[in-house]
Amino acid sequence: MYNSYFGFLESPFSVTPDPRFFYTNAIYQEAYANLHYGIEAKKGFIVITGEVGTGKTTLLRKLLRNLGDTIHSVFIFNTDLSFPELLQLTLHDLGLAPKDASKVTMLQQLNDYLIKQLKQGHTVAALIDEAQNLSDDVLENLRLLSNLETDQEKLLQIVLMGQPELQAKLGQPTLRQLKQRVALQGRLAPLKDEEAGPYIDFRLRAAGYKGNGLFHPDAIQEIAFYSKGIPRLINIICDNALLNVYARSQETVSADMIREVARDLRIGSEVQVTEMEIAPNALVSKIEPETPVREAAIDVPQHKVRRMVRVGFETLLLILVFVALASVTDPRNLRGIAGRGLEVVKHNLNQWVVLVTHQEAVPEKASPEVEFKRKDQRVMIQHGASIYKIASDTYGTNTVLGMDLIKEFNPQIKNLNWVSAGQDLLLPRLTRETLLRKQPDGSFRLIVASFRSLRG
């Protein structure tokens, strides 16, 4: 629709797995090299995993396009089948008509074909996409299929491409023999934030775009944030943003437009988070029903947001002023100034707690064990979940602050953009103890606000 408007020869952000639009970085180059080398060197089993939308199918199609004439390949993308059905499909793709539907006959027919190709100096490879959906029985039979070999090499090279669940499945005790036969494996990770710009530019150039500055730098930053580095999400966001630019007869994609697209698409809204079972005497417990949790759909008025920031900075300013006065004021007058100043600081801190946590501040004479009764939440990360969505569901309008707290309270997570299903996650509750903490040297650390970007 908008191709001629921007000067594209074709759509730059189609979600179809077109190898011409395959973007390569170090991780993708390594995965491609492993696949190509593993097949040519006849290594047997090769496993590549990656989250939904990271370009696994595109990688396979690029591999298929670049395999030499002496390599015969079978591409299987429908993995909801039995092993006999998989054999039938394999024979069909190799141009062979199954003599009958029995498993033994088809295996013998395939073995004869593989030996014939070996004598001609050819290689046969089976590329299986969405391999995480294969049943345990099919995977075990694939292991037996790999027994078709000579004394020197494997007759059939098998590539298993799938989501992270594939690795978990291969880790089962019943499939340990198959896992031991995996010669090469790799993982497709999401793009880094700084790769979003080059990725977008690569797609634009591949589509014939000759101009510059179509996406504002701030817009690219927002795309990296909302997509979490998933190429498919980048494509969807960019496609919708360009459609909006075209509809409004504009020339540049702005950051505001990306945020609008993200809201319209409800990026990540399908993520589900379930709470783990925790022992009753555990230090950290599940949130009790009466504890109010802010929903992401609740909008806080702008004046309240401004007030939150103002109160926080007023508090910091008062603390700084007090420190400055301490160095120049007569000590006899300092006590009165300090008393009045600390009262204001305490009042502002109480306001801050109410504004951020939506609860009354903890009374001055609260139990000394209040920190151990904070009622934090512990969850198990589900497949397809993201830290941003978890923080959004848990902390509502304080999502960015929540992400910072999640990072602090979960040191085992090194990269917030890459988490695995089944990981344990601690979600600290927003309380006075969370936002204002005493340090080992006796000073206090006050968390005033968190911002995704310092840009306007």
pLDDT tens digit string along 63-105? 999 998 899 999 999 899 999 999 999 999 999 988 888 899 9
What was the pLDDT predicted at 271?
37
pLDDT greater than 70 at residue 232 = yes
The average pLDDT across 437-443 equals 69
Band the pLDDT of 309: cuts 50, 70, 90.
low
What pairing do the DSSP bridges indicate for beta strands 436-438 and 444-446?
antiparallel
d(CA 218, CA 101): 59
123 forms beta bridges with 71
pLDDT greater than 80 at residue 446 = no
Band the pLDDT of 322: cuts 50, 70, 90.
low
Of residues 25 and 324, which shows the higher confidence score?
Answer: 25
pLDDT greater than 90 at residue 328 = no
* CB 114, CB 169: distance < 8 Å: no
Q: What does the block give as tokens for 451?
A: 């911002």
What was the pLDDT predicted at 319?
60
What was the pLDDT predicted at 392?
82
d(CA 52, CA 223): 17
Domains of the chain (ranges plus CATH)? 3-15+192-265 (1.10.8.60), 26-188 (3.40.50.300), 302-446 (3.10.350.10)
pLDDT greater than 60 at residue 325 = no
Kindly report the number of other CB atoms within 10 A of residue 425's CB atom.
21
Lowest mean pLDDT among 45-54, 71-80, 380-389: 380-389
What was the pLDDT predicted at 106?
93
Instruction: Note the pTM of the prediction, 2 decimals.
Output: 0.60
Of residues 443 and 183, which shows the higher confidence score?
Answer: 183
What was the pLDDT predicted at 295?
36
What was the pLDDT predicted at 428?
86
What was the pLDDT predicted at 413?
80
Q: What does the block give as tokens for 214?
A: 């179509």
Residue type, 298: I
Report the residue count for the chain: 456
As a whole number, the mean pLDDT across the chain is 78
What was the pLDDT predicted at 281?
33
The average pLDDT across 38-48 equals 93
